[in-house]
Structure 1
Amino acid sequence: MLGLTATPERMDGRSIYEICDYNVPYEISLREAINKGILVPFHYYGIYDDTDYSKLHVVSGKYDEKELNETYIGNVHRHDLIYKNYRKYGSTRALGFCCSRAHAEEMAKEFNARGVKAVAVYSNSDGEFSEDREIAIEKLKKGEIEIIFSVDMFNEGVDIVDLDMVMFLRPTESPIVFLQQLGRGLRKANGKRYLNVLDFIGNYEKSGRVRFFLKDSISSKSVITSQRTEDLPDDCQIDFDLRLIDLFEEMDKKQMKLSELIYSEFLRVKEDLNHRPSRLELFTYMSDEVYQLLLGRSKENIFKDYLEFLHKHNELTLEEEKFYGGIGKEFIKHLENEQMTKVYKMPVLKAFYNDGKVLMEVHEDQLLASWKKFFNTGSNWRDLDPKKTYADYLKITDSAHLKKIFTMPVHFLVNSGKGFFIEVDKGIGLCNELYEIKDNPILAEQMKDVIEYKTMDYYSRRLNLEISN
C-alpha cells in the first residue's frame, strides 16, 4: 500500500504513520516544495494586536471560547485593525480563521458593512451571514464574494487555488493547525505570485511560539525573528512588527518551567484528541519544539516514565492505579528506558506481547517468526545491514537470523539489569514475579504503546538523519 498525504500530522486522532508501518520512502518539506516551484512563496506579516489576553483563562491548553468571543465581538478597534491591514496588503480572494461561529459571523458582518463581500462558513451554519461551504467556495472562485471567515472547516482537506491571502484572527496554539492553515493558500494558480499571510498577534500565552512554528517548517535557524532572506525559501518574506519583537522578549521572560510547558502541551493534545493520549499519540501530535526540549532534559522526559506522569496528574483509572502500585509499573518503566541504538529489540518484545496475549517465555520458533514478520514489513529489512540489497536480505538463512537474535537483542535484554528478562532453554523469558500480571489487559496495553512509541521514535530519528545527510 502507498499512502500519500500533505498532512501526516493530523488532529483527528488517526496516525497516518501507523497505517503505513512507519515507513516513509519520500518526504518533502514546505521549504523544498516552495524552492522547487510546487507551491507559491508566502509573505508573512506578524501584525501587532493590542488586544489584552492577560485576564482570559486557559482551559486544557486553549483559551476559553466564551471569553474570546467577549473579547472579539463588538471590538471596533480590532475590526478596524484587521480591515486596515486587509486593504493595505490587498486581496481578491481571502480566507480568515476565527475562534468560533459567532466570531466568524461577526467578521463577515463587519466586512460587509465596510463594502467587502464576505460570508461565514461553519458546521450547521444558520446565521445571517453564513453560507454552505461548497457554495461559498464556488462564489469565491467566481468573484461573487471576496472573503470567507471560517472556524475549522478549512484547516485540512480543502484547497482553493486562487486564494491570495489568509488571515489568522485568533491565537494559534498548535503547530499542526498553523501549518494546515498556512497551507490552504499555497497552491499555484495562473497569475498568482505569492500568498499574503496576516497574523494578528497579541499578548496571548503562546504568542512567541509562532517563531518556532515558522522555523520548524521553513528554516534551519533555531528561531525566526526577522526577514533575513537567506534563512527563507525562495521569494518568501517574514516581517514582524517591531513591537512584537519587544513583546516576544517580554513573554520569553515569563516562560513557564519546562515541566509546566510539557503538561500544557499534554492538555492541548488531550483536548484535540478528546481522550487521554497514548505515548505514541503524544509523540505524534505534540510540538516538536517541546519534544526536543524534553529529550534534552532526562529528568523531565515523561516518555521515560509515562505512568508516573499520568499518576502525578490524576490521569489514571482505578485499575491503572492498582497496576501502577505494583511490579508492572517498574517493568513498563524498564521497557521505556531500554536503549534503542538499533531496532533489534522490537521484534523480540513483540513476540512477548503476542498480539495482546502476553507470554512468559518465547522460544526459537516464536522469536524467528516475530523477527521475520518485523523485518519483512516495508523497508525494515534495511536496518539489518544498510549495505545489503533486498536480494541479499532474502538470502539470509533462518540459522543466521537466529544467531543474530540471540547474540544481540536477547543477550542485551537478559543483561540489561533489573532481572526482568531471563535465559530459558532455546529462548528468553520473563521473571517469575511478572506471572501474576501476565493476563492483566493493562500490561498488554502498556507494552503495545511502549513498543509502538519506541519504534516510531527510532524511525523518526533515522529519517531525520537520512534527510540531514
Structure 2
Amino acid sequence: MVDYFKPRFLLGLTATPERMDGRNIYEICDYNVPYEISLREAINKGVLVPFHYYGIYDETDYSGLHRVKDRYDEKELTETYIRNPGRYDLIYRYYRKYGSQRALGFCCSRVHAEEMAKEFCRRGVAAVAVYSNADGEYSEDRQEAVRRLKNQEIRVIFSVDMFNEGVDIASVDMVMFLRPTESPVVFLQQLGRGLRISKGKTFLNVLDFIGNYEKAGRAPLLLSGENSFFGKVAGEGGRIAYPDDCIVDFDMRLIDLFAEMNKKSLPVKQQIRNEFYRVKDLLGGKVPTRMELFSYMDDDIYQYCMKHARENPFRRYLEFLNDLDELSDDEREVFSGIGREFLALIETTDMQKVYKMPILYSFYNHGNIRMAVTDEEMLESWKEFFNHGTNWKDFSEGISYTDYKAMTDKQHLSKAKSMPVRFLKSSGKGFFIDKEGYALAVRPDLEPVIHKAAFKAQMKDILEYRTMEYYRRRYASE
C-alpha cells in the first residue's frame, strides 16, 4: 500500500515499531525517524506508570518439549500445563499475594486460557477466557470481556495473543506471563497492556512464571531500555538500571537455574545458523536473500552480528551459504570464479559515508550491468540516489535542502569523483580502474560473469542491503 500511493508527504505513527511478524517497519521510511520515546523515558516522564516485576520460580520442566519454528510445540506445552495442578495453585497463590482489581493473563493456547479461567473461577475469582472464534464454557467476546473487566464484574481475562496490541484498558494493574517468554516484541507489547496511567493506579505488578525454557530470564533486560539481550547472561537484571520507581526481583532459586542454563547455551555461530534456518522456514523453504534475512532476523542476533565481524554472515554471504550447502547451481558457478571476489569487495568495502552507493548503482544500472560509466551516467545515478526521500541530508554535514537543490551538476560530479571514485579505485584487488572516455570502469575479466542472472541478483541484493544498513546505523547513532 505504501508503494502504491505517491504522497507529497508521508507521516507514519506507531506505538509498536517492533512487529510480531518480524518485519522491519523502519525500512518503510528509510530509518527517517523524527521523534520517538523509549519505555524508560516514558516512565521517567510520567507518561506510563512504573512496573514491579517479579520473576517467579516455576518447576515446570520444558527440557523434553519439542520446538517448532523456534517456538515450543503448542499442543505439548498446553498438555504440560493443564496436567499440572500444582502450577494452577502457584499462579493463584502469587496472584493473591500481590493483589489485583483488574488483571490480564497471557496463555499459550485457547485450551490453556480456558483452563486458567476455569481454575480461577473454582477458587472464587471471576475470570473469563478471550480468544478468536471463542466457543468454550469460560470464553467470552472480547468487547464484552473488556467491559466487564473495567466494571469489575470480573477480575481476570486470560487470553492468547488478542491483547498484544490495540486494546485500551488503562485500569489494568497486573499482567501475568503464563507461558515461555520467547519474543522480546511480544513481551513488551503484552507488558504495555498494563502500563497506561489510570486514576488511583501507582504501578503495575508483573508476574512472570519462569522455568527452564530457552531464553528464560533474558526478557526483563528489555525493561531497562536495552535494545538487545543476545549474548547477555540470563538473570543479570539486578546489575542494570531500570526506570524510576521500578522494581525487578527474581526468586533466588532462579539465579541457580539461570547459571545452569547459561552453561548449556549454544555457541553463537550455531545460534546464527539456527536463526538463518528459522527465517528460511518462515519464507516457506526459500533461501533468504540478504535483505530478507535483515528484515526477518531476530534483532538481538542481528545486533550481535554487526558488532562481531567474524560471525557476521552479511559480510561474505555467499561463503556463509556455501558452508551451509545452500547455494543454487547458478550461485555456485558465480561463487567458484572471479565474481565471488568482486561481490565480496562491495560487501565489505568501508562505508562510513554513503557516497559509494550511487556510484555502484550506476554500474548496476537497474540490472543491465555496465563495464564502465560515463560522467553523465554517473551523474544521473548520483542525483537519483540523493534526490530520493531525505538522502540529500547525507550529501554533506549540516546542508540545508535549499543549499542542496542549488547544487550544480558540476558540483555534484566533482564530489563524486573526489571521494567515492577515488576510494573505489584504491580498494580491493584493483577491480575499479580508469578508462579513457569514462568516469570509472571495472576490470575486463569481469565481463563474462556480469551478465549472469545469479551475479545480477547478488549485486542488487548487496546494494539494497548495504544502503538500508547504512541508514539503520545512522538512525541508531542518532
User: TM over 0.5, yes or no?
Assistant: yes
What displacement does 1:211 show? Answer: 4.6
Q: Aligned in 2, Cα 1:158/1:278: closer, same or farther, shift over 3 Å?
A: farther
2:172 to 163, 171, 179: 163
Kindly indicate whether the alpha-carbon contact (under 8 Å) linking 2:40 and 2:225 is maintained by their aligned counterparts in 1.
no
State whether residues 359 and 382 of structure 2, in contact with CA within 8 Å, keep that contact through their aligned partners in structure 1. Answer: yes
Runs of 4+ in 1 over 6 A off after TM superposition: none
- Percent identity of the aligned residues? 61
Change (3 A) 1:417 1:218: closer
Residue 157 of structure 2 aligns to a residue in which SS?
strand
- Which residue does the alignment assign to 2:469? 457
Query: CA shift at 1:357, angstroms?
Result: 4.2
Comparing 196-205 and 62-71, the one that deviates more: 62-71
2: CA distance, partners of 1:103 / 1:309 = 41
The residue that corresponds to 1:399 in the other structure is: 410
User: Which residue of structure 2 lines up, in the alignment, with residue 297 of structure 1?
Assistant: 308
Q: Would you say the 8 A contact 2:221–2:237 is kept in 1?
A: no
- For 1:179 and 1:270, the matched residues in 2 are separated by 25
CA contact (8 A) 1:105 1:120 kept: yes
- How far does the alpha carbon of each residue in 1:360-419 deviate from its partner, in whole angstroms, 9 at most, with x for none? 443323322332232233433232222333333222221111111112112222322234
Determine the C-alpha separation between the residues in 1 that align with 2:164 and 2:269. 30
| Matched letter for residue 331 of structure 1 | F
Deviation at 1:136, TM superposition (A): 2.8
1:140 pairs with 2:152: no
Deviations 1:215-268 (A, max 9, x none): 444899x7773557x811112111111111221122122221111121233344
Superposed displacement of residue 200, structure 1: 0.9
Query: Any conservation in 1 of the 2:358–2:381 contact (CA below 8 Å)?
Result: yes
- Is the alpha carbon distance of 1:72 and 1:321 closer, same or farther for their aligned partners in structure 2, counting shifts above 3 Å? farther
2:166 and 2:434 mapped to 1: Cα distance? 52
**Is the 1:122–1:130 Cα contact (8 Å) retained in structure 2?**
yes
Residues 132 and 450 (structure 1 numbering): CA distance in 2 closer, same or farther, change over 3 Å?
A: farther
Matched, 1:258 2:275: no
Q: How does 1:25-40 map to 2 (within 5 A)?
A: 25-40=34-49
Alignment partner of 1:428 is 2:440: yes
| Range moving further from structure 2, 342-351 or 284-293 | 284-293
Higher mean C-alpha deviation, range 27-36 or range 104-113: 104-113
Q: 1:326 to 1:303 in 2, by over 3 A?
A: same
Distance 1:367 1:122, change over 3 A: farther
Distance change >3 Å, CA 325–CA 152, structure 1 → 2: farther
Look up the SS of the partner of 2:59 in the other structure. coil
Question: 1:384 and 2:398 equivalent?
Answer: no
Structure 1 residues 299, 138: CA separation in 2 closer, same or farther (over 3 Å shift)? same
Structure 1, unpaired ranges of 5+: none
Residue 414 of structure 1, aligned match among 425, 430, 435: 425
Asked if 1 retains the 8 angstrom alpha-carbon contact of 2:49 and 2:195, the reply is: yes
The 1:198–1:271 alpha-carbon spacing in structure 2 relative to 1, beyond 3 Å, is farther
For 1:107, the aligned partner's letter is: M
User: CA 1:24–1:72 in 2, change beyond 3 Å: closer, same or farther?
Assistant: same
Give 3-state SS (helix, strand or coil) of 1:231's partner.
Answer: coil
1:400–1:304 Cα change, 3 Å = same
What is the RMSD computed on CA atoms of the aligned residues? Answer: 2.8
Q: 1:453 to 1:137 in 2, by over 3 A?
A: farther
Match of 2:17 among 1, 8, 20: 8
Q: Is the 8 A contact 1:29 1:217 kept in 2?
A: no
Structure-2 change in CA distance of 1:48 and 1:382 (3 Å): same
Offset, 1:174: 1.9
Candidates 97, 107, 128, aligned match of 1:98 = 107
Aligned-partner Cα distance in 2 for 1:433–1:155: 55
Paired position in structure 1 for 2:460:
448
1:15-30 equivalent positions in 2, closer than 5 A = 15-30=24-39
Shift of 1:355: 3.7
- Aligned CA distance change for structure 1 residues 110 and 53 (closer, same or farther; 3 Å): same
Q: Do the aligned partners of residues 298 and 64 (structure 1) sit closer, same or farther apart at CA in structure 2, a change above 3 Å counting?
A: same
SS in structure 2 of the partner of residue 34 of structure 1: helix
Once residues 174 and 48 of structure 1 are traced to their aligned partners in structure 2, the CA distance between those partners, rounded to angstroms, is 19
Which residue type is aligned with residue 241 of structure 1? D
Report the Cα offset of residue 318 of structure 1. 5.1
CA distance 1:111–1:322, change in 2 (3 Å) = farther
Partner of 2:253 in structure 1?
243
Residues 1:61 and 1:317: Cα distance change in structure 2 (over 3 Å): farther
Asked if 1:353 corresponds to 2:364, the answer is yes
**Pairwise mapping of residues 58-73 of structure 1 onto structure 2 (< 5 A)?**
58-73=67-82
**Taking structure 1 as reference, are residues 219 and 254 closer, same or farther at Cα in structure 2, changes over 3 Å only?**
closer
Give the deviation of 1:40 after TM superposition.
1.7
Find the residue that maps to 1:235 and give its secondary structure.
coil
SS in 2 for 1:83: helix
Aligned-partner Cα distance in 1 for 2:364–2:167: 40
The amino acid across from 2:165 in the alignment is E
Aligned residue identity for 1:125: A
- For this pair of structures, how many residues does the alignment match? 464
Which secondary structure state, in structure 2, belongs to the residue aligned with residue 346 of structure 1? helix
Secondary structure of residue in 2 paired with 1:3? coil
Moved more, 236-245 or 413-422: 413-422
Distance in 2 (CA, whole Å) between partners of 1:138 and 1:201 is 31
Cα contact 1:40–1:187 (8 A) shared by 2: yes
2:382 maps to what in 1?
371
Q: TM-score, normalised by structure 1?
A: 0.89
- Structure 2: how far apart are the matches of 1:32 and 1:47? 27
Instruction: Find out whether 1:282 has 2:263 as its counterpart.
Output: no
Moved more, 332-341 or 347-356: 347-356
- 1:302 alignment partner AA: P
